[in-house]
Amino acid sequence: MYPASVHIKEVGPRDGLQNEAQFIRTADKVALIDRLSDTGLDYIEVTSFVHPTWIPQLADAVEVLQQIKRRHNITYAALVPNMKGLYRALEADVDEVSVFMSASEGHNRANINKSIDNTFPVLQEVVTEALAAGKTVRGYISTVIGCPYDGKTSPEQVRYVAEHLFEMGVQQLSLGDTIGVGVPTDVDALLTYLLEYYEAEQFAMHFHDTRGTALANVVASLSHGITTFDSAVGGIGGCPYARGASGNVATEDLVYLLEQMGIETGIDLGKMQQTGLFMEQLLQKELPSKLTAVARGE
């Protein structure tokens, strides 16, 4: 019933840090990413090339990508909203470009300052140029279950955006429960609908744990054949343009759950917990991850 292995994409240095008000020094971000590179992960989203006024924390995106110790077997990815962002990302020689938009109009406008239909041509150009530059391209759809501005999102709205992104040439779509409102029955309804049109391998799930439902939603997704999940070390994260959004499912907690279920992740839990503790030092606070609390000795 469950898959033999799961692919975890670490988004902590991007989704995690973007929500932190206190600026983390570039050298500390680099140290964090270098530690993550040593945990067995093969995918790390390291930063984003958005407008620095919108997300000041990640204004040092080029420097971060240039200073990390890259391993050949790890994909170092970054968010890119438009062509200006793509030029910066290519200058920094990012491995994979992630474009992003929302299934709901309200969040799309708040987050990237455009309507959904006006976002498609912007992302089309980014995807075409990124592929031409030899990069792989991932897509995110936010607010796939609920939106802080518009309320409940329908699976049909998600498919409308997914169809456009796949047609552009996006290779995998990460479906985000941005504000962590979903429960397993919502995930069942969404995936039952989408998998009538697409293959499970075309999707990753991206759960925020605002209401403590992220791991339950992971298990629900596994039973639909989903084998890629995004998570953030320490359980940090959130979108500053989604009121009430909070941390991603913690990578340590996800690794524990999956490995205990007999599902391979390739990640060293002990090293990930130590990285969670390192993240706590950087941010000077206790983080939501349960397995980091275990490592703290609680």
Q: Which residues are catalytic?
A: 239
- Interface residue with ligand HMG among 23, 54, 149, 160 (CB under 6 A) is 54
- Partner from ligand HMG, Mg ion, none contacting 55, C-beta within 5 to 8 A by type: ligand HMG
Nearer to ligand HMG, 113 or 128 (CB): 113
Residue found under tokens 């759950």: 257
Number of residues that bind Mg ion (CB under 5 A): 1
- Interface residue with ligand HMG among 241, 247, 254, 289 (CB under 6 A) is 241
d(CA 288, CA 269): 16
Instruction: Give the range of 10-18, 97-105, 159-167, 264-272 binding Mg ion by CB under 5 A.
Output: 10-18
- Interface residue with Mg ion among 8, 14, 15, 180 (CB under 5 A) is 15
Site string for ligand HMG, 188-207 (x = CB under 6 A): ------------------x-
Q: Quick check: 263 and 244 in contact, CB under 8 A?
A: no
Q: Which of 283, 289, 296 is closest to 13 using CA atoms? A: 283
Tell whether residue 48 is a contact of ligand HMG (CB under 6 A): yes
How far apart are CB 53 and Mg ion at their closest, in Å?
Answer: 20
d(CA 23, CA 146): 30
Q: Which of 100, 55, 106 is closest to 77 using CA atoms? A: 100
d(CA 194, CA 230): 19
Residues 76-115 within binding reach of ligand HMG (CB under 6 A): 79, 81-82, 84-85, 100, 111-113
List of residues 6+ apart from 173 with CB closer than 8 A: 138, 139, 140, 141, 162, 165, 166, 202, 203, 204
List of residues 6+ apart from 264 with CB closer than 8 A: 4, 5, 6, 258
Instruction: Give the range of 44-52, 149-157, 188-196, 217-225 binding ligand HMG by CB under 6 A.
Output: 44-52
* Residue 239 CB coordination number (10 Å): 25
Q: What are the start-end ranges of the H helices in the chain?
A: 26-36, 61-67, 83-91, 105-112, 116-132, 155-168, 184-194, 214-222, 251-260, 269-283, 290-296
Nearer to Mg ion, 15 or 95 (CB): 15
How far apart are CB 164 and ligand HMG at their closest, in Å?
Answer: 17
How far apart are CB 94 and ligand HMG at their closest, in Å?
Answer: 13
Angular region, 113: left φ>0, alpha ψ -120 to 50, beta rest: left
Nearer to ligand HMG, 74 or 112 (CB): 112
d(CA 298, CA 222): 30
Angular region, 284: left φ>0, alpha ψ -120 to 50, beta rest: left
- Partner from ligand HMG, Mg ion, none contacting 100, C-beta within 5 to 8 A by type: ligand HMG
- Interface residue with ligand HMG among 10, 12, 15, 96 (CB under 6 A) is 15
d(CA 286, CA 236): 10
Site string for Mg ion, 52-91 (x = CB under 5 A): ----------------------------------------
- Partner from Mg ion, ligand HMG, none contacting 112, C-beta within 5 to 8 A by type: ligand HMG
Instruction: Give contact residues for ligand HMG (rule: CB under 6 A).
Output: 15, 18, 48-51, 54-55, 79, 81-82, 84-85, 100, 111-113, 140, 142, 176, 178, 206, 208, 239, 241
